[in-house]
């Protein structure tokens, strides 16, 4: 019953974030660079789960942050996430022709346009975060920009992607695989939660609890994604499946097998829920989201 309420909340925030992104993104208006602007809108406004925006808005709600502020920050996070998908799909990376149920950016347009689209989305995200509509306090905006840059950069998402590439030709130990997933997926989940706390000027303990929660569900989400790649369908995932094993990808499944990987995802979900004890029932939507992520594989 609560999952129905959660689904409604996910849909509501997704719709609001889509509207915010639509209003923020530039329109080509016949300019020579219009192809780039069109591609930015094509990849960003396509069907997506919007889990990271949901985490940010839900976390911000814990501290009474206004929705205009949290939605703009959430849009920036989604711009960064989408840029990473555009670049991941390129032939030099994962070489995927389908994303979110439609042709990947480099297939719809071309490789050069896809590279520039990712570049444009990444830089546009920081332009959005720097605007005082996100927060009137410049110090808060600077802190937020720094935290997002760290999560998205060499010590976070991009570094995790580098490890993923290295793992195609080098066997990683279990601890290294977990670190890879924590960086590649967990860091952007973590900053999505922490961004809400930064906007709300939350106490350190609350910020740490949200980061710990987000790391756990981020890695659990990646494990479920890997499980779906093994046993899911193209229709379920909106992207190609069965590709990880063929490319020698380092996943928890390749290290410990399907059953143990699923058990690990369930354990991470329990840990995530426990991390939210400091917020009592105010964080119920985040608890239900952790459970919901597991159901993607059931």
Q: What is the pLDDT of residues 31-58, one digit of tens each?
A: 888 999 999 999 999 888 899 999 999 9
Residue 86 pLDDT > 50:
yes
Helices marked H in 131-186:
138-152, 157-166, 174-181
Q: Which residue did the predictor score with more confidence, 171 or 106?
A: 106
Domain boundaries, the chain: 2-295
Strands (E), the chain: 98-99, 102-103
Question: What DSSP designation does 129 have?
Answer: H
Give the mean pLDDT of 56-71. Answer: 97
In sequence order, the β-bridge partners of residue 99 are 102
pLDDT at res. 109: 96
Please give the span between the terminal C-alpha atoms of the chain, in angstroms, as a whole number.
Answer: 17
Residue 243: the pLDDT is: 61
Q: b or e along 140-169 (b: 16 or more beta carbons within 10 Å of the residue's beta carbon)?
A: bbebbbebbbebbeeebbbbbbebbeebee
pTM of the model: 0.90
User: What whole-number distance in Å separates Cα of residue 107 and Cα of residue 243?
Assistant: 18
Higher pLDDT, 19 or 28: 19
Query: What was the pLDDT predicted at 238?
Result: 54
* Residue 269: half-sphere exposure toward Cβ, Cα within 13 Å: 21
State the pLDDT at residue 49: 86
Average pLDDT over every residue of 221-247: 67
Question: Tens digit of pLDDT for each residue in 113-133?
Answer: 999 999 999 999 999 999 999
For the beta carbon of residue 201, count every other beta carbon within 10 angstroms: 14
How far apart CA 255 and CA 174 sit, in angstroms, is 6
With 50 as the cut, is the pLDDT of residue 232 above it?
yes
pLDDT, tens digit, 9 for 90 and up, residues 173-194 = 888 998 999 999 999 999 999 9
Q: Cβ distance 82 to 44 under 8 Å? A: yes
| pLDDT given at position 1 | 37
Residues 2-295, CATH architecture: Orthogonal Bundle (1.10)
């Amino acid at each position: 019953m609560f999952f129905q309420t959660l689904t409604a909340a996910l849909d509501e925030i997704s719709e609001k974030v889509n509207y915010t992104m639509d209003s923020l993104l530039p329109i080509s208006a016949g300019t020579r660079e219009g192809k780039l602007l069109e591609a930015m809108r094509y990849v960003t406004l396509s069907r997506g789960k919007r889990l990271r925006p949901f985490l940010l808005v839900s976390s911000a709600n814990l501290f009474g942050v206004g929705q205009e502020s949290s939605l703009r920050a959430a849009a920036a996070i989604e711009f960064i996430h989408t840029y990473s998908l555009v670049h991941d799909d390129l032939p030099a990376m994962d070489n995927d022709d389908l994303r979110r149920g439609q042709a990947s950016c480099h297939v719809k347009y071309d490789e050069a346009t896809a590279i520039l689209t990712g570049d444009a989305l990444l830089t546009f995200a920081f332009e959005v975060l720097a605007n005082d509509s996100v927060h009137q306090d410049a110090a808060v905006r600077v802190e937020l920009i720094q935290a997002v840059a760290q999560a998205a950069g060499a010590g976070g998402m991009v570094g995790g992607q580098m490890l993923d590439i290295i793992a195609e030709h080098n066997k990683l130990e279990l601890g290294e695989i977990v670190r890879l997933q924590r960086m590649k997926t967990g860091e952007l989940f973590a900053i999505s939660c922490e961004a809400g706390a930064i906007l709300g000027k939350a106490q350190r303990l609350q910020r740490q609890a949200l980061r710990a929660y987000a790391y756990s569900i981020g890695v659990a989400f990646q494990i479920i994604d890997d499980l779906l790649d093994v046993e899911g369908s193209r229709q379920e995932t909106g992207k190609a499946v069965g590709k990880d094993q063929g490319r020698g990808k380092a996943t928890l499944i390749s290290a410990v097998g399907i059953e143990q990987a699923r058990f690990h995802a369930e354990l991470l979900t329990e840990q995530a829920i426990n991390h939210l004890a400091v917020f009592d029932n105010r964080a119920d939507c985040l608890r239900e989201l952790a459970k919901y992520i597991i159901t993607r594989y059931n």
